[in-house]
């Protein structure tokens, strides 16, 4: 199970952010004015599990005819306002889960990735491991927190709070196979209408993280939304790292042995 | 621009009433590269607006929550004790008793401090034993926890038996055990920090184990030069000098192979630390290798190598933290990778960005089932 977030119909209402905070008892994490369009939550963190990005671009949306400024006669610039609700990707190959030394992070029967808060000891390894910058440490609590894809709600047959609250169905919840088909149809529809910028992100099970459990339809490059363009789960390189660690350990021992051999024998009692 | 004045009577100098027949008798806007705006530029961008490569300059990754000096301190002390345990065993075998004792005490102290630093860095210190709840080879921290669970008691027992002269067979066993686990303790930390999405750590994952191994050897040898009499430290003279030079060369090579991420090592705090480590390592190696039989020169050289090795760990740590906080280090290498993949896949033309003047259909509210 997972999310398909179609950002082309997001209206930036932040109902998902609110619903998530309410349902999951996510504490308030500072009310700051950032000047980043309507975005005051800035990014995903321990206390922001849904984050709506706002991007104002001087670029016309497909079909938009901006016209001329009446006083100067200059051609007006277009404006498109991209909004996108970001969330934990629930990667098929999840680095946070791989590196968690306590087993606090685990994969649920729904295929989602969840932290057990009664096990997490706050070692913080999952934070730099996440290629998307999702999971984070909660101040004053010490443990790591992130979206659970509303594990408690799924367990009793209800959809996640954010998807439930989304008024435009930008956030859609369901089995990934079905969502992928739906996303493909939507992408074709967008391209046919001339929105050639539209693209899917995280839908491919052959990508660097084995496909995201929460994928997106975006209208610009992923990095414009604060998403990495080609994330790869760091543990893909771990077998190579272990081999090299082994080689390095052996060379450490041999260089110490060599230096003692080269250093000559030592006779107790010898003094300078 | 409208220069309207809003008064009680209404709006003056407002825009003239227009006939909003969209698309009639108006030229196409600057929507395509073929139609620049009136000022001849396309897609003007103001300061503070999102750039094509980032979301308002916000980092893509979350900042590592590991703190200094706890974690870089552990990287250093763990390396010192790990390589030191091999030196202790070698000194024991070659009957260099004072070197063996000094090294064992140093190892036990370093690993004791390491454990304190590691537990101190936890968000929930009372739950440190959860580290031994599972064993996961996919988590270098889990592997390291189990290594330390064997290594720390072994080094402490080894030092205790040597100093007190009690339970000598146990001491010999502990010294051997520590020497077996030590090289792992000294090098697994390379996998620990490289197995992350942090560009300055992950991009160095091929060289990091060798940087850490040489750094560990240099620091342990440096400490031995300081703590043991001249008569017993001939092997360490060679080891400290060569390991320090090796550490220097390997760190440089690692940085050079990182592409754009190299910059993270050459800016701010990381740069100062790395530069300091280079100077100390080079000077230390030179002093040690030319020290003859002078205890003073060996001590100064040893201390210099020891400090240089510590600065390397702190520098690498800081470079990682800095690289996680700038989106260009995350996006740049990934874009390059995508480009290479596309180049390999063949000359597939990039999808044209030209926009058609077709209207966007009404967004369906009920989904597209």
What's residue B361's pLDDT?
40
* ipTM of the complex, rounded to two decimals: 0.91
Chain A residues near residue B96 by CB distance under 8 angstroms: 266
- The kind and range of the H/E element at A176 are helix A176-192
Residue of A nearest to B119 (CA): A123
How far is residue B65's CA from residue B234's CA, in Å, rounded to a whole number?
A: 42
On the 0-12 / 13-18 / 19+ scale of CB atoms within 10 A, B175 is buried
Q: How many CB atoms lie within 10 A of CB A221?
A: 16
CA atoms within 13 A on the CB side of B21: 4
Best of A59, A102, A115, A168 to mutate (most B CBs within 10 Å, chain B): A102
Note whether B60 contacts A226, CB cutoff 8 Å. yes
Residue of B nearest to A199 (CA): B351
Note whether B127 contacts A122, CB cutoff 8 Å. yes
**What pTM does this model have?**
0.85
Q: Where are the alpha helices (DSSP H) in chain B?
A: 70-93, 97-121, 140-164, 168-194, 199-202, 208-227, 234-256, 268-289, 295-324, 327-345
Note whether B368 contacts A185, CB cutoff 8 Å. yes
Contact B139, B110 (CB under 8 A): no
What's residue B31's pLDDT?
36
Phi-psi region of A16 (alpha: psi -120 to 50; beta: other; left: phi over 0): alpha
What's residue B177's pLDDT?
94
B18 has a chain A CB within 8 A of its CB: yes
How far is residue A25's CA from residue B290's CA, in Å, rounded to a whole number?
A: 65
On the 0-12 / 13-18 / 19+ scale of CB atoms within 10 A, A166 is buried
What's residue B34's pLDDT?
38
Enter the tokens of residue A132: 């998307």
How far is residue B300's CA from residue B294's CA, in Å, rounded to a whole number?
A: 10
Provide the number of CB pairs (under 8 Å) joining chain A to chain B. 361
Residue of B nearest to A123 (CA): B122
From the list A143, A113, A111, the residue with the least C-alpha distance to A127 is A143
What's residue B13's pLDDT?
57
**Residue position matching structure tokens 């995903």:** A44
Instruction: Identify the DSSP state of B62.
Output: P
What's residue B165's pLDDT?
86
Among A39-48, A69-78, A233-242, which stretch is predicted with the lowest mean pLDDT? A69-78
Note whether B238 contacts A60, CB cutoff 8 Å. no
pLDDT of A268 strictly over 80: no
Per-position pLDDT tens, chain B of length 369: 345 566 566 655 554 443 333 333 333 333 333 344 444 444 444 444 445 578 998 999 999 999 989 999 999 999 999 999 999 999 999 989 899 999 999 999 999 999 999 999 999 999 999 999 999 999 999 999 999 999 999 999 999 998 898 888 899 999 999 999 999 999 999 999 999 999 999 999 999 999 999 999 999 999 999 998 888 888 999 999 999 999 999 999 999 999 899 999 999 999 999 999 999 999 999 999 988 888 888 999 999 999 999 999 999 999 999 999 999 999 999 998 998 888 887 765 544 444 443 433 444 444 433
Contact B216, B82 (CB under 8 A): yes
Among A67-71, A196-200, B43-47, which stretch is predicted with the lowest mean pLDDT? B43-47
Among A75-84, A85-94, A221-230, B231-240, which stretch is predicted with the lowest mean pLDDT? A75-84
Residue of B nearest to A270 (CA): B231
How far is residue B280's CA from residue B307's CA, in Å, rounded to a whole number?
A: 7
Q: How many CB atoms lie within 10 A of CB A243?
A: 12
Mean pLDDT of chain A: 91
Q: Where are the beta strands (DSSP E) in chain A?
A: 2-6, 50-57, 80-87, 105-107, 113-115, 136-137, 144-145, 171-174, 199-201, 214-218
On the 0-12 / 13-18 / 19+ scale of CB atoms within 10 A, B3 is exposed
Reported as a single tens digit per residue, the pLDDT across A144-197 is 999 999 999 999 989 999 999 999 999 999 999 999 999 999 999 999 888 888
Best of A240, A244, A257 to mutate (most B CBs within 10 Å, chain B): A244
Instruction: Identify the DSSP state of B53.
Output: T
CA atoms within 13 A on the CB side of B332: 18
Mean pLDDT of A21-40: 91
Note whether B26 contacts A71, CB cutoff 8 Å. no
Q: Round to the nearest angstrom and report the end-to-end CA distance of chain A.
A: 75
What's residue A196's pLDDT?
86
What's residue B44's pLDDT?
41
Contact A136, A46 (CB under 8 A): yes
What's residue A272's pLDDT?
39
What's residue B20's pLDDT?
37
How far is residue B276's CA from residue B97's CA, in Å, rounded to a whole number?
A: 34
Rounded to the nearest 10 degrees, the angle between the axes of helix A238-262 and helix B234-256 is: 150
Enter the tokens of residue B91: 């000194």
Is the omega angle on the peptide bond into residue B69 within 30 degrees of 0, that is, cis? yes
What's residue B369's pLDDT?
38
On the 0-12 / 13-18 / 19+ scale of CB atoms within 10 A, A68 is middle
What's residue A72's pLDDT?
76
Q: Is A44 helix (H, G, I), strand (E, B) or coil?
A: coil
């Amino acid at each position: 199970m997972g999310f398909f977030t179609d950002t082309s119909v997001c209206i930036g209402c932040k109902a998902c952010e609110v619903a998530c905070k309410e349902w999951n008892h996510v504490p308030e994490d500072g009310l700051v004015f950032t000047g980043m369009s309507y975005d005051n939550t800035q990014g995903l963190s321990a206390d922001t599990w849904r984050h709506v990005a706002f991007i104002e671009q001087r670029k016309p949306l497909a079909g938009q005819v901006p016209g001329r400024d009446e006083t100067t006669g200059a051609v007006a610039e277009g404006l498109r306002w991209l909004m996108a609700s970001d969330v934990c990707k629930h990667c098929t190959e999840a680095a946070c889960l791989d590196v968690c030394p306590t087993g606090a992070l685990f994969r649920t029967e729904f295929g989602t990735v969840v932290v057990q808060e009664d096990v997490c000891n706050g070692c913080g390894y999952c934070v730099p491991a996440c290629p998307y910058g999702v999971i984070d440490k909660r101040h004053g609590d010490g443990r790591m927190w992130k979206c659970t894809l509303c594990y408690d709600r799924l367990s009793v047959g209800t959809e996640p709070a954010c998807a439930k609250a989304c008024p435009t169905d930008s956030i859609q919840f369901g089995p990934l196979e079905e969502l992928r088909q739906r996303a493909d149809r939507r992408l074709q529809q967008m391209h046919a209408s001339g929105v050639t910028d539209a693209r899917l992100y995280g839908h491919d099970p052959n990508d660097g993280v084995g496909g995201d459990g929460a994928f997106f339809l975006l209208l610009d490059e992923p990095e414009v939304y604060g998403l990495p363009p080609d994330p790869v789960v760091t543990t893909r390189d771990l077998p190579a790292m272990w081999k090299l660690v082994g080689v390095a350990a052996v060379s450490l021992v041999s260089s110490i042995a060599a230096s003692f051999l080269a250093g000559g024998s030592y006779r107790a009692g010898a003094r300078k | 621009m409208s220069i309207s004045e809003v008064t009680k009577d209404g709006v003056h100098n407002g825009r003239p009433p227009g006939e909003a027949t969209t698309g009639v008798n108006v030229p196409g806007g600057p929507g395509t590269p073929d139609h620049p705006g009136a000022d001849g530029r396309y897609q003007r961008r103001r300061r503070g607006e999102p750039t094509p490569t980032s979301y308002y300059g916000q980092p893509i990754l979350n900042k590592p929550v590991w703190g200094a000096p706890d974690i870089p301190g552990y990287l250093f002390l763990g390396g010192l004790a790990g390589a030191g345990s091999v030196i202790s065993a070698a000194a024991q075998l070659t009957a260099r008793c004072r070197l063996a004792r000094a090294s064992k005490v140093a190892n036990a102290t370093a690993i004791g401090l390491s454990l304190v630093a590691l537990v101190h860095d936890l968000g929930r210190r009372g739950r440190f034993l959860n580290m031994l709840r599972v064993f996961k080879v996919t988590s270098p921290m889990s592997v390291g926890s189990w290594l330390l669970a064997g290594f720390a008691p072994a080094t402490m027992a080894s030092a205790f038996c040597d100093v007190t002269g009690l339970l000598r067979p146990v001491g010999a066993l502990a010294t051997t055990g520590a020497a077996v686990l030590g090289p792992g303790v000294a090098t697994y930390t390379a996998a620990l920090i490289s197995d992350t999405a942090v560009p300055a750590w992950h991009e160095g994952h091929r060289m990091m184990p060798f940087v850490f191994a040489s750094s560990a050897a240099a620091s342990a040898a440096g400490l031995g030069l300081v703590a043991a009499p001249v008569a017993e430290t001939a092997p360490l003279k060679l080891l400290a000098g060569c390991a320090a030079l090796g550490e220097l060369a390997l760190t440089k090579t690692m940085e050079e192979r990182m592409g754009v991420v190299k910059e993270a090592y050459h800016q701010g705090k990381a740069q100062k630390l790395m530069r300091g480590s280079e100077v100390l390592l080079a000077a230390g190696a030179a002093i040690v290798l030319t020290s003859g039989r002078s205890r003073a020169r060996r001590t100064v050289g040893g201390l210099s190598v020891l400090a240089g090795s510590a600065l390397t760990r702190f520098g690498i740590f800081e470079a990682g933290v800095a690289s996680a906080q700038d989106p260009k280090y995350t996006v740049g290498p990934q874009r390059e990778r995508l480009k290479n993949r596309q180049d390999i896949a063949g000359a597939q033309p990039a999808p044209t960005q030209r926009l058609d003047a077709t209207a966007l259909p009404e967004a369906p509210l009920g989904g597209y089932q």
